[in-house]
Amino acid sequence: MSNGASDFYALDDLLEPDEVEVRDRVRDFCAREVTPVINDYWERAEFPFELVPKIAELGIAGGTVQGYGSAGMSAVAAGLVAAEWARADGSLGTFYGVHSFLAMQSIALLGDEEQRERWLPAMARMETIGAFGLTEPEHGSDAVALSTQARRDGDEYVLNGRKKWIGNGTIADLVLIWARGEDGNVGGYVVPKGSIGWTATRMTGKTALRAVWQAEITLADVRVPAENKLANCHSFKDVSVVLDRTRYTVAWRALGIAEAAYDLALQHTLQREQFGQPIAGYQLVQDKLARMLAEITSMRLLSWRLSKLADEGRMTAAMASMAKMNNCKKARAIVADARDLFGGDGILLEHHIARHHADIEAIYTFEGTDHVQALIVGRDITGLSAITGRRPARAQEKPADAPQSI
């Protein structure tokens, strides 16, 4: 290992052999199949459909979901996989994360046995692609106030409402729609592709995560069988369980982008010569590289410890929020410094750093903005909610800042 390697403190020694194996398997796949082609897809804002069967062959769908043909990884392994996707490309990381961590995890946690058997095996094989429909045009951080409605009509539910920023929404075979029932509680409804009254429109004009598609969805009297309502989702608190269980992977994704940015910057500054020597030999450049590496090292330790706590069943929502807040903010600064070290080349896609520079803005925002994450941590350490204004009617609800649907 060279002195420039991002694992400066030999943190790989903390990993189990199976965790290293799955990380390296994804890293090798991305080096062969993703990095050589992804800039073109990103520039054209096209999704790389031909990669999906190849991703399926990796056998990693489902992340930590146990059984039903899913990968059944540890939380550490799932985090490492999330980081590797982000290290290669944030768009594919989002595609995989929405399918595995949000859609499959929701069914695994909140579905009954029949529902898990009905949907998860095909999703694990990636023959069925999933999406997660929580965010609405008027409800992002305040997702608990979602207004999509579900009404019981005989042996069906009738759904009406709108969703926005739904990752995989135009390509998914099934979409989990979170809607408020007649009793006022939020439930999850699995809506199959092609349902009458369903309209999914691809969002355009994005400046980040351009190679994955998000949708604006309209539900106009969409009917789904009663058995498509997740049996163990009774309120928004149950939705929050899924969000809390997946948020830690976003901290890993921020780490992955930061590692990619550092590696690219180090390689570039060692090769780029100005005034007769590599620019890596200048004090200002070395100062930036040293500080970038120090932040990455702390981010890796935080991510690893959080995932170990998750595996032990000790991770809390506030812990996950702290990691997301910390890592995304640091990654944003690291990517900006890396782009700066590229000079003019830093805005050319061929060097990859421009893509990461754009994509970190989305990761910084979704699954809870920086400010919302800080307030979740603040509520935990003070016992006082600055989010709801301590209004009794909302005191028990938690914000979800849902654009992980992104």
Clarify whether residues 258 and 351 are in a common domain. yes
**Backbone dihedral region for residue 126 (phi beyond 0: left; psi -120 to 50: alpha; all else: beta):** left
- Determine, yes or no, domain membership for 69: yes
Q: For position 267, what pLDDT does the model report?
A: 96
Local structure of 316: helix, strand or coil: coil
CB 226 within 8 A of CB 186: no
CATH number for the domain spanning 35: value is 1.10.540.10
Please determine, for residue 187, whether its predicted confidence score (pLDDT) is greater than 60.
yes
pLDDT over 90 percentage in the chain: 84
Of 129, 146, 167, the one marking the end of a domain is 129
Residues 18 and 117 occupy one common structural domain: yes
pLDDT of 4 reads 53
- Average of per-residue pLDDT across 206-224: 96
Residue with the larger pLDDT of the pair 256 and 404? 256
pLDDT at 27 over 50: yes
The pLDDT of residue 316 is above 70: yes
Alpha carbon distance 104, 63 (integer Å): 9
Over the stretch 371-403, which tens digit does the pLDDT of each residue have?
A: 999 999 999 999 988 887 655 444 444 444 444
Domain limits for position 302: 237-382
Residues 283 and 371 in one domain: yes
Q: Which of 174-188, 208-222, 287-301, 358-372 has the lowest mean pLDDT?
A: 358-372
Q: What beta strand segments (E) does 112-155 contain?
A: 130-133, 149-153
CA distances from 324 to 240, 298, 351 (A): 15, 13, 27
| pLDDT > 70: percent of the chain | 94
Pair (39, 66) in one structural domain: yes
pLDDT of residue 144: 77
Q: Which of these, 79, 65, 89, 191, lies nearest to 131 by C-alpha position?
A: 191
Show the tokens assigned to 317: 């929502």
Please state the domain count of the chain.
3
Give 3-state DSSP helix, strand, coil % of the chain, rounded to 5. Answer: 55, 15, 30
Prediction pTM value = 0.92
Give the model confidence (pLDDT) of 152-186 as tens digits.
Answer: 999 999 999 999 999 999 999 999 999 999 999 99
Q: What rounded mean pLDDT belongs to the chain?
A: 92
**Does 246 lie in the same domain as 214?**
no
Selection from 256, 270, 227, 235 nearest residue 335 by Cα: 256
Among 84, 113, 129, where does a domain finish?
129
Q: pLDDT tens, 128-154?
A: 999 999 998 887 676 677 889 999 999
Task: Assess whether pLDDT exceeds 70 at residue 117.
Answer: yes
pLDDT at 5: 64
Does residue 71 surpass a pLDDT of 70?
yes
| Three-state secondary structure call for residue 258 | helix
Closest CA to 40 of 103, 106, 74, 91: 91
- 123, 137: one domain: no
pLDDT higher than threshold 70 for residue 91? yes
The verdict on 307 and 223 lying in the same domain is no
- Of 366, 384, 365, the closest CA to residue 375 belongs to 384
- Please give the DSSP secondary-structure letter assigned to residue 184: S
Token pair, residue 196, equals 């009458």
**269 Cβ contact partners less than 8 Å away, ≥ 6 residues apart:** 278, 279, 280, 285, 289, 341
Residue 404 falls inside a structural domain: no
Average pLDDT, integer, range 216-227: 96
The CATH number covering residue 218 comes to 2.40.110.10
pLDDT at 405 over 70: no
- Let me know whether 248 and 138 are in one domain: no
Cα end-to-end span (Å), the chain: 37
pLDDT at 1 over 70: no
Residue 110 has pLDDT above 90, yes or no: yes
CA distances from 326 to 126, 250, 260, 278, 360 (A): 32, 11, 18, 32, 13
pLDDT (mean) for 40-46: 97
pLDDT of residue 241: 87
- Interior/surface letters 148-167, b for 16+ CB within 10 angstroms, e for the rest: bebeeeeebbbbbbbbbbbb
* Shared domain check, 93 and 206: no
- Same domain, residue pair 350 and 250: yes
Which of 52-56, 67-71, 386-390 has the weakest average pLDDT?
Answer: 386-390
Q: How many CA atoms lie within 13 A of 180 on its CB side?
A: 12
Both 111 and 17 in one domain: the answer is yes
Q: Which of 213, 234, 255 is the last residue of a domain?
A: 234
Q: What is the pLDDT of residue 313?
A: 92
